[in-house]
């Protein structure tokens, strides 16, 4: 090529500049093409995460969901044994105790059963009177006995918090309708329940004599767990009664004018209370970064279940003549699987050669099956301040792959899938481990506030529940036993959770709520309130 160029210059001396340009171009053509920098491979998955095994999970769960623990009802001796087992595993892992009593966060409760009404209820509205018999009257809650004798009544046609402003309720009975959240579309239930609870709390704070709700009766005789811990600032609350009466429902739609003439008469007997000391189990893997170690990410689950066919009784032999009848709700998948996963993930991450930058707090809650009681207690008494808690991954039903929606192998899903970027951390971890974190369109939003992540989310912490299957055979059934768990798949899912958890703990940027999703507005507002810098 060079020879040809020189010959061209001799023939056409005036084209020397062209020759120079062609020569430069030729030189460039001889240079090797610049190489793109090779992509930086992700760091290897720590051996500590790969140490989470199916056999360890099986060993834990075959004990935790055995008949010996009698279904881990809250409260029960079986639940206490479960708490001791979890604490022992945290101790063996070298976790720092995170409770106010070693690994136990103690909660003073009463197990409360409401008595039946002593007699009928009578409502006067001017010249009209309504009488409701005991069969259509239910005492939902009361801290003490109360007698309402021609007590003045204030009527609200909806449970509207704004309608309470400027209204004096002291010494009066409030009457309002009680709708069921199940009657509403799933996307409206969360806001409805939140507003309803706020209305009830405001009525109690205004020192009303009673709250009478006109609606459907609830499950009869169901006990309730009530916190009486001194640090909760427990105060006496007015009795709450539910009335199921068609005539009253019609009247409530169009009450008689002349509110000053409205009175109610009813007698409320005292509750039947049994003290209970319950335990959340808390272990801490302290962070290593001088600044970030004072912040934390939570990994949680609930360790209780629904007991036996004689739920609420102490552990006792099966009734005579029924030795072969299964009477224990073992709760292997719900939520023994989540509990042993928290244990084994804690053990795995405790083996890391370098501690994560943020602290990781492992918590197992009591009383989820009785109304998210343990997580609610933790939410009011967090081990790390809420403004220092950057995320919560709550584990529910991670052991069964036989979903009613079809087999779920190497899959997991999240509630509130597109509510925050916690999903991205877990999705990236899943891609490396070989687990797909997918959106369950029907369950994602519907279940968001129905598990233990809710207590943290309501305070602004990006918090989600991870599950392999939202629904499966034997849900809350006698057949939910440890032999039906897919331990190899559970170990794989747990390694995904462990890696995602570790990446959040090491990330300089905390997970954020999704500002483009209007459903996160309440949670974002709570986060700003708890942590103004989150704006």
Shared domain check, 146 and 69:
no
**Residue 218 resides in a domain:** yes
Radius of gyration (C-alpha) of the chain in whole angstroms: 31
pLDDT at 257: 62
Q: Indicate if 340 and 199 belong to the same structural domain.
A: no
CB-based contacts of 341: which residues, under 8 Å, 6+ apart?
57, 301, 395, 398, 490, 493, 494, 497
At 253 the three-state DSSP class reads helix
Residue 511 lies in a domain: yes
Does residue 240 contact residue 200 with C-beta atoms inside 8 Å?
Answer: yes
- CATH number of the domain enclosing 303: 3.40.630.10
Q: Residue 331 gets which letter from DSSP? A: -
* CATH number where 254 lies: 3.50.30.30
Q: Regarding beta strands 402-403 and 411-414, do their DSSP bridges make them parallel or antiparallel, or are they unpaired?
A: unpaired
pLDDT reported for residue 20 = 57
pLDDT of res. 106: 97
Is 485 within the bounds of a domain? yes
* Residue indicated by tokens 């003290």: 275
Query: Nearest CA to 304 among 463, 83, 460, 511?
Result: 83
Q: How far is CA 304 from CA 76, 345, 369, 414, in A?
A: 10, 19, 7, 21
For residues 212 and 340, membership in a common domain is answered with no
Question: Pick from 383, 376, 367: which is nearest to 97 by CA?
Answer: 383
Q: What is the DSSP track for 367-411?
A: -GGGTSHHHHHHHHS-SS-GGGEEEEEEE-S-S--EETTEE-SSE
79 within 8 A of 318, measured Cβ to Cβ: no
Tokens of 380: 């009011």
pLDDT exceeds 50 at position 438: yes
Phi and psi, residue 58, nearest 5°? -65, -45
Q: CA nearest 74: which of 229, 397, 306?
A: 306
Cβ(519)–Cβ(445) below 8 Å: yes
Q: Which among 470, 378, 476, 482 is positioned nearest to 417, based on CA atoms?
A: 470
Whether residue 186 is found in the same domain as residue 101: no
Q: How far apart are CA 450 and CA 415, in angstroms?
A: 9
303 shares a domain with 190? no
131-167 pLDDT tens trace:
999 999 999 888 889 999 999 999 998 898 888 998 9
User: pLDDT at position 187, please?
Assistant: 67
Q: What is the biggest distance separating any 2 CA atoms in the chain, rounded to whole angstroms?
A: 125
CA-to-CA dists, residue 297 to 44, 294, 362, 426, 524, angstroms: 22, 10, 9, 13, 18
Residue 120 located in a structural domain? yes
Q: What is the pLDDT of residues 50-104, one digit of tens each?
A: 999 999 999 999 999 999 999 999 999 999 999 999 999 999 999 999 999 999 9
| Residues 190 and 70 occupy one common structural domain | no
Measured torsion, CA atoms of residues 181, 186, 192, 196, in degrees rounded to the nearest 10: 30
Instruction: Match 């079986």 to its residue by tokens.
Output: 78
Task: Please check whether residues 242 and 337 belong to one and the same domain.
Answer: no
Query: Which residue has better confidence, 417 or 223?
Result: 417
Q: Would you say residue 200 lies in a domain? A: yes
pLDDT value at 1 more than 50: no
Residues 357 and 422 in one domain: yes
- Note whether 144 and 94 are same-domain residues: no
Residues 112 and 275 sit within 8 Å (Cβ to Cβ): no
Q: From start to end of 337-396, where are the E strands?
A: 359-365, 389-395
pTM score of the predicted model:
0.84
Residue 18 inside a domain? The answer is no
**Residues 387 and 530: beta-carbon distance below 8 Å:** yes
* Domain identity same for 75 and 219: no
Instruction: Determine the Cα–Cα distance for residues 370 and 367; give it in Å rounded to an integer.
Output: 5
Task: Flag whether 38 is in a domain.
Answer: no
> What per-residue confidence (pLDDT) applies to 66?
98
Structural domain harbouring 236? 115-270
Q: What is the pLDDT of residues 302-326, one digit of tens each?
A: 999 999 998 744 333 344 444 548 8
- If we measure between CA atoms, which residue out of 332, 353, 383 comes closest to residue 485? 332
Q: What is the mean pLDDT of residues 394-404?
A: 97
State the helix-helix crossing angle for 487-506 and 422-433, rounded to 10 degrees.
130
15 DSSP 8-state letter? G
179 and 256 inside one domain:
yes
Number of independent structural domains in the chain = 2
Rounded distance, CA 166 to CA 149, Å?
Answer: 25
Does residue 85 sit in the same domain as residue 104? yes
- Residue 429, domain member (yes or no): yes
- Segment holding 205, helix H or strand E: helix 186-205
Q: What is the model's pLDDT at position 217?
A: 87
């Amino acid at each position: 090529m060079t020879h040809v160029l020189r010959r061209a210059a001799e023939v056409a001396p005036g084209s020397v500049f062209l020759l120079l340009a062609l020569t430069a171009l030729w030189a460039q053509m001889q240079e090797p093409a610049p190489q793109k920098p090779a992509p930086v491979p992700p760091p290897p998955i720590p051996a500590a995460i790969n140490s989470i095994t199916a056999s360890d999970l099986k060993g834990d769960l075959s004990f935790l969901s055995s008949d010996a623990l009698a279904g881990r009802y809250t409260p029960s001796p079986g639940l206490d044994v479960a708490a001791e087992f979890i604490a022992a595993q945290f101790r063996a892992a070298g976790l720092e105790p995170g409770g106010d009593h070693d690994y136990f966060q103690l909660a003073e409760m009463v197990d409360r059963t409401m008595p039946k009404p002593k007699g009928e209820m009578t409502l006067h509205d001017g010249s009209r009177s309504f009488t409701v018999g005991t069969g259509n009257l239910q005492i939902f809650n009361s801290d003490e006995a109360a007698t309402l004798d021609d007590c003045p009544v204030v009527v609200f046609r909806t449970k509207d918090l704004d309608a309470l402003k400027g209204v004096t309720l002291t010494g009066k009975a409030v009457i309002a309708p009680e709708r069921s959240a199940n009657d509403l579309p799933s996307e409206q239930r969360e806001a409805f329940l939140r507003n309803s609870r706020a209305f009830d709390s405001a009525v109690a704070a205004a020192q009303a004599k009673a709250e009478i709700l006109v609606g459907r009766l609830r499950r009869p005789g169901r006990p309730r767990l009530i916190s009486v811990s001194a640090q909760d600032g427990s105060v006496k609350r007015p009795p709450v009664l539910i009335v199921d009466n068609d005539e009253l429902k019609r009247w409530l739609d169009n009450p008689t004018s002349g509110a000053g003439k409205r009175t109610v008469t009813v007698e409320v007997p005292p509750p039947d209370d049994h003290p209970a000391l319950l335990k959340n189990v808390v272990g801490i893997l302290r962070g290593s970064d001088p600044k970030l170690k004072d912040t934390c990410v939570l990994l949680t689950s609930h360790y209780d279940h629904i007991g036996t066919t004689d739920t609420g009784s102490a552990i006792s032999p099966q009734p005579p003549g029924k030795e072969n009848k299964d009477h224990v709700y073992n709760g292997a998948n719900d939520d023994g699987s989540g509990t042993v996963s928290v244990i084994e993930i804690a053990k795995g991450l405790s083996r890391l050669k370098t501690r994560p930058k943020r602290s990781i707090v492992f918590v197992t809650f009591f009383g989820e099956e009785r109304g998210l009681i343990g997580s609610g207690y933790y939410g009011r008494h967090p081990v790390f301040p809420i403004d220092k808690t950057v995320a919560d991954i709550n584990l529910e039903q991670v052991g069964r792959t036989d979903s009613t929606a079809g087999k779920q192998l190497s899959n997991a899903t999240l509630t509130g899938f597109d509510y925050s970027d916690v999903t991205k951390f877990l999705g990236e971890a899943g891609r490396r481990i070989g687990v797909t974190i997918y959106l369950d369109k029907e369950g994602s939003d519907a279940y968001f506030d129905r598990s233990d992540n809710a207590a943290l989310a309501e305070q602004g912490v990006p918090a989600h529940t991870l599950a392999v299957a939202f629904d499966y055979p034997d849900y809350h059934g006698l057949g939910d036993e440890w032999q039906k768990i897919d331990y190899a798949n559970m170990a794989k899912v747990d390694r995904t959770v462990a890696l995602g958890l570790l990446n959040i703990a090491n990330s300089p940027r905390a997970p954020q709520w999704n500002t483009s999703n209007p459903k996160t507005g309440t949670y974002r507002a709570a986060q700003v309130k708890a942590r103004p810098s989150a704006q």
